Structure 1
């Protein structure tokens, strides 16, 4: 059986075909397309129709390549949603989490409900763009007309099949799921002016959503395709694609965001976890991803964009490798870097304000980011071990960041643990993992992770001697100060 992973991130989307052959997962890229939000009349919007059109285009390519039957699963980024009326029509364009409408929303919410109470209910970290704060400031007229609130991947699945669901790994990112009742928290729903009836039924990864609609088959030449609800939050899929084994490993899903954490059977929503602003995102197969959101390669992407992509990412990494390490640092999680008008000038202003040399060349700018990210990773590895009581001996870096050798080595040096880089297509593989299990081709996630280890090459980075982490961390802490947003 052939399986298709639709994996849509903040900067691009792809359709990957996977099949199990000779004890390995064989991947074939069917279609790739650009994605990104655009500013329309002062609001940052996703073009959901563009994404859907490219899913259809990819399926048409698949049919032309001779594939007549397959399964399909969709994952995307989290927290953003669609409002759909009783006739199944979208009421508005999808607003990006980087839109400035939530700049003050979290403060307003926390003025009504104490942060500690929200964390006790949900176990989700406080980020100003969580769905809770987006829905709090959402147009009340639109909410009144809403029949169904759908997270982005659920909405795309609805467009394909006509079936609406609420998949739990993505729903947990709303900061409105109650850890104890396993439902949307009534008090938080009341706070944002919604009720539980405006959400479709909950489903877990692995449930069959339905077949492509007859209408789509009438309009397009598509394969006979059954849509399986996978772990629709892309980080949830990425962690399923991490080839870890045993209980002493952590993951770092390195892309637009850096998500660093461990997979646990139960959440940790203690006061210490609250103070450290760690999150308990729901995972597939009754797991939780206890992790920290770190700003990630968004900083690099924006530096490249501000230079009109004059350098490739590989070229920028090569330039950075020749710069002095740890000469200049930034607090990577400062909210000023969430969506500035110009990332380069924002970094330079930060450096000027903290009395540091102002980085002006591409190499220096990228070096600042890599050094600062690696330090933050090391700090959070220590924090993670303290909060969980688990020793971490191995770090699996997955996603696009697995290709950045300089950052991977810096991470190994500063954490003092062995880093395994790869697979880069962990999200697609995790998406396919659920399809393989649901189709009966694999027994469980442990078996799929073994298949992934056999199927994809990984590069190992061992820590170097002579790195004074204490001095580097002190400098970073002094520069970055208190970064948490609540």
Structure 2
């Protein structure tokens, strides 16, 4: 029986999981869990990639301790952040978090040199101030001149394990540097930020074998023999791969720190309407596109919890919210002020005050405000999604940790009138694993894998209560 390890690292935590396939089921076990988060260093918010590497190795050592001598490994993380390597293969500086404020105003500065419409026609990627394009634009030119190789975060971790430098396509697409027509990095945009194609490694497809873990790099760890496979290294690409949708009329909502709401497409949609609505065409696994909208997501709740000193579990916060009358307030969840405020609760309260709404005071009122605002945003974006794709959206599948919030799921079902399915919560890890399994011949393709996922992980169904929210049968 083959064993498959998945490294899934998000903005607040990371995990090493072990997957197997037997008796028509994908069995997934968490081997190691660790915290993650950016921190202030000097004038920048940065990630500790050495720490992340150590935690990956710790997880692999635990796999070896469990008696498993051989496995494959896939790594997925968040998108857009990168590492600059010098001629010796060493980082030039720490990996800066996309939530750092260094890119404030960068979109407008770039737009003075090349129009936003042109950038969108080239890349099909939505405009976010933290996109790699804008991060590179504000880099010190002397650092870029010293740079021999630029690696996205999961590719950098893979490089540290194997010594191989690659650029996996699903994460590369998030940079807003890949040309939709050619499938390669766009030379004009590279020149705009002072770079050239030679500073990036070759683009590879998800499912490509990158190489073997070099055990001699890590003599202090007792590790299994590991073959590293490039999965959908952008965690949303893995989450969508792990979403058990069938047919052409389902939408997904990958609900974690971010809410990624969209549909899986065979061709990109880079129309003027898509540009105006700021939709994105990120690369998916197996020649697909993730046509989606980035929505702020559970980051808002995570920060509210932190401001409350984590006195309540997320389930307790949801229960407090359920006791509050719905739709008393609404915030613009995608407003830049909520990207990385000093105090999330005070920012929410200030927004409500500035917009003439009553100010949420209790934890329940604050959380209810966030959940209602997210649900209303999802409703609007589902309508836009149907208009932009020309497809009728009949059901929404919510995967990831946010799918565990029944209050939010039911609110979305009531607002939209559509069937909402919740699960699997481990879609990202599952998607990571099934790409490895397809590479090893366990499944012939993703459609077959998704049928097994659906049979393995029961989903919870939410139907509209046809209440005062005014839901519609279909968007």
Q: Corresponding residue for 1:321?
A: 322
Tell me if structure 1 keeps the 8 A contact 2:414–2:469: no
Q: Corresponding residue for 1:430?
A: 431
Q: Corresponding residue for 1:478?
A: none
Per-residue deviation, 1:469: 4.6
Q: Secondary structure at the match of 1:350?
A: helix
State the aligned residue count: 470
Q: How does 1:148-227 map to 2 (within 5 A)?
A: 148-216=149-217, 218-227=219-228
2:93 corresponds to 1:92: yes
Q: Corresponding residue for 2:3?
A: 2
Q: Distance in 2 between matches of 1:281 and 1:44?
A: 25
Per-residue deviation, 1:215: 1.7
Per-residue deviation, 1:217: 5.3
Task: List per-residue Cα deviations over 1:114-134 (Å, max 9, x = no partner).
Answer: 111000000000001000000
2:380 corresponds to 1:411: no
The alignment's C-alpha RMSD in Å is 0.9
Per-residue deviation, 1:58: 0.3
- Cα–Cα, structure 1 residues 56 and 214, in superposed 2: closer, same or farther, change >3 Å? closer
Q: Corresponding residue for 1:67?
A: 68
For structure 1, list consecutive stretches of 5 or more residues without a partner in the other structure.
471-486
Q: Distance in 2 between matches of 1:103 and 1:93?
A: 19
2:384 corresponds to 1:383: yes
Task: List per-residue Cα deviations over 1:190-221 (Å, max 9, x = no partner).
Answer: 00000000000110001101001142353321
Q: Corresponding residue for 1:40?
A: 41
TM-score when normalising by structure 2: 0.98
2:35 corresponds to 1:15: no
Q: Distance in 2 between matches of 1:464 and 1:81?
A: 45
Q: Distance in 2 between matches of 1:247 and 1:190?
A: 39
Per-residue deviation, 1:21: 1.1
Q: How does 1:87-486 map to 2 (within 5 A)?
A: 87-216=88-217, 218-469=219-470
Q: Corresponding residue for 1:477?
A: none
Q: Secondary structure at the match of 1:410?
A: helix
Q: Corresponding residue for 1:474?
A: none
TM-score when normalising by structure 1: 0.96
Tell me if structure 2 keeps the 8 A contact 1:292–1:380: yes
Q: Secondary structure at the match of 2:7?
A: strand
- Runs of 4 or more, structure 1, over 6 Å off, are none
Tell me if structure 1 keeps the 8 A contact 2:81–2:97: yes
Per-residue deviation, 1:294: 0.3
Q: Distance in 2 between matches of 1:421 and 1:314?
A: 16
Tell me if structure 1 keeps the 8 A contact 2:215–2:223: no
Deviates more, 1:40-49 or 1:249-258: 40-49
Per-residue deviation, 1:303: 0.4
Tell me if structure 2 keeps the 8 A contact 1:280–1:289: yes
Q: Distance in 2 between matches of 1:447 and 1:32?
A: 29
Q: Secondary structure at the match of 1:429?
A: helix
Q: Corresponding residue for 1:77?
A: 78
